[in-house]
Amino acid sequence: MESVAEALRADPAALQDLVDDAVVWASQHGLLVGAGLADPACATVHAPVALLPVPYPRETFLRAKAAALAFNAMVDAVARDEEYLSTVLAAAAQEDPFTARLLQVFRDTAAERHARRDQEGVLAVLRSDYMLHAPTNSLLQVELNTIASSFGCLSTLVSRMHAYLLGRLGAREAELGALPTHNAMDGIADAMGASVAEYCSAAGCSTGEAVMVMVVQPGERNAYDQQWLQTRLWERHGVRTLRRNLAQLAAEGRLGPDGSLTVGGHRVALVYFRAGYTPDDYPGEAEWEARCLVERSDAFKCPSVAYQLAGAKKIQQDLARPGVVERFAASAADAQLLRSFFAGLWGLEDLATNPDTQAVVDDAVAHPERYVLKPQREGGGNNYYGEALRDKLAGARTAGGAGLGAYILMQRIQPPVHRSVMVRLGQAVEADTLSELGVYSTFVRRGDRVLLSAEAGTLVRTKAATSDEGGVASGYAVLDSPLLV
């Protein structure tokens, strides 16, 4: 692969031909995002992509995939422990209104949740994100996403595009074999189909009668990744999807006396959230009422509020404390595996009283390049790095730690640098880059019965080495795939 890349660098015309091939392939095969235009709103452009796959160590890649089921079981156990969630998130809730409101929804809907405990319908679509840490040659977890785990469909297409492009370049069979295939698109759609089928079996309705409601943000540019799931859910399982934002769900949703949820007269078997993870998704009380409506219903939820809370940064940090992941893992072997991925993580709510916390904050102020400061937020663009981290911590330290309960401090991972060609809007830019691996997993549970637990595919996002953030939808990164070495 290095020889191919070198040849392209030496031949600008050949590089442009390959860029053109990539753009055409993406446009023909639905590897698309919204163009962000008001008129026409349906205008599209190819998704930002890496032109060629990034080299990735084979054994490390396989080890990350093998951990998926252990993470499934651990997250489910955390989400079912109401006392643990409430206790660990209490300090963050005191200083972060969004976490406090999610906890309030959790408490306000407890009666309905407890009444149907034996029949609770859970669908989890998780994505565990990792980076290679070059100084120790280890793989460390960046975060575990429990809500709106995006790009499963577009990542499926990127791996197919790379196989096509390598074939056009005359790659040898061994090189093509080093490009792992996956189908997160159908893996996630099949988990949705299994949830709807289980709901309908218990409710006495057919899968043709019930619908999935996909909760989305207005003006979503990443709608095509979402709509691939709608298409495959219909093609493979005959289940219709209704796209609604939270305000529309509040206006159209009705809860029956038996707990059944209807939207626009359609019985809802599954509510799948691709929104609801940021305060911006709740501009008024109607949106919070919609979230409560879903929680009180008998529909499968992806995720429930409990699962969303289980993915909070504060929970990630607390699980790394001695003995905690061991409490929730399915076995001692699982706990050992999960712990091996944990980076350094520190809570900050006890800065005023704990000498260990004071010491790590002092070190972060002195060496901000070694750390990342993270709030209880998803979606990219929220973290503190470098001088901004130093200023934030130094100011809070002077104030006795005020405001830090809503944050965690994390070791900054130092991944290896690769040379990549990134393509946006048809234009190629070559740069030093860093890559992040995501592993999807699906989990379906009814009461205490686990109906499905599976690893469901992978995602690689590549960004310029000079960029701190790594979101594709937020404009920092491109979609990529691994070439195993």
Is residue 232 annotated as a catalytic residue, yes or no?
A: no
Quote the Cα angle for 254-260-261, to 5°.
Answer: 40
Distances in whole angstroms, Cα of residue 200 to Cα of each of 8, 123, 206, 236: 54, 15, 6, 16
Is residue 314 annotated as a catalytic residue, yes or no?
A: no
Q: What is the Cα–Cα distance from 243 to 241, expressed in whole angstroms?
A: 6
What's phi and psi for 380, nearest 5 deg?
90, 150
Pick the catalytic residue from 120, 287, 378, 436. 378
Is residue 471 annotated as a catalytic residue, yes or no?
A: no
Is residue 254 annotated as a catalytic residue, yes or no?
A: no
Pick the catalytic residue from 120, 143, 287, 455. 143
Query: Which candidate, 411, 466, 469, places its Cα nearest to that of 436?
Result: 469
Buried b (16+ CB within 10 A) or exposed e, 2-41: eebbeebeeeeeebeebbebbbebbeeebbbbbeeeeeee
- Maximum Cα interatomic distance, the chain, rounded to a whole number of Å: 70
Pick the catalytic residue from 72, 128, 149, 150. 150
Pick the catalytic residue from 232, 374, 390, 412. 374
Q: Are 455 and 441 in contact (CB under 8 A)?
A: yes
Pick the catalytic residue from 379, 380, 403, 471. 379
Pick the catalytic residue from 127, 377, 412, 463. 127
Contacts of 137 (CB under 8 A, 6+ apart): none
Is residue 382 annotated as a catalytic residue, yes or no?
A: no
Q: What is the DSSP string of 237-263?
A: H--EEEEE-HHHHHHHEEE-TTS-EEE
3-6: list long-range contacts, CB under 8 Å, 24+ apart: 4/52, 4/166, 4/169, 4/171, 5/52, 5/419, 5/421
Q: What is the Cα–Cα distance from 319 to 323, expressed in whole angstroms?
A: 8
Instruction: Find where tokens 């996909």 sit.
Output: 214
In angstroms, the first-to-last Cα distance of the chain is: 10
Pick the catalytic residue from 274, 291, 296, 313. 313
Is residue 301 annotated as a catalytic residue, yes or no?
A: no
Is residue 150 annotated as a catalytic residue, yes or no?
A: yes
Neighbours of 118 (CB within 10 A): 9
Pick the catalytic residue from 72, 145, 155, 222. 145
Is residue 349 annotated as a catalytic residue, yes or no?
A: no
The single-letter code of the amino acid at 118 is D
Instruction: Find where tokens 């901000």 sit.
Output: 368
Pick the catalytic residue from 461, 463, 470, 481. 461
Query: Which candidate, 117, 460, 445, places its Cα nearest to that of 303?
Result: 445
Q: Are strands 266-273 and 211-215 parallel, antiparallel or unpaired?
A: parallel
Q: What is the Cα–Cα distance from 282 to 147, expressed in whole angstroms?
A: 15
Active site residues per annotation: 127, 143, 145, 150, 313, 374, 378-379, 461
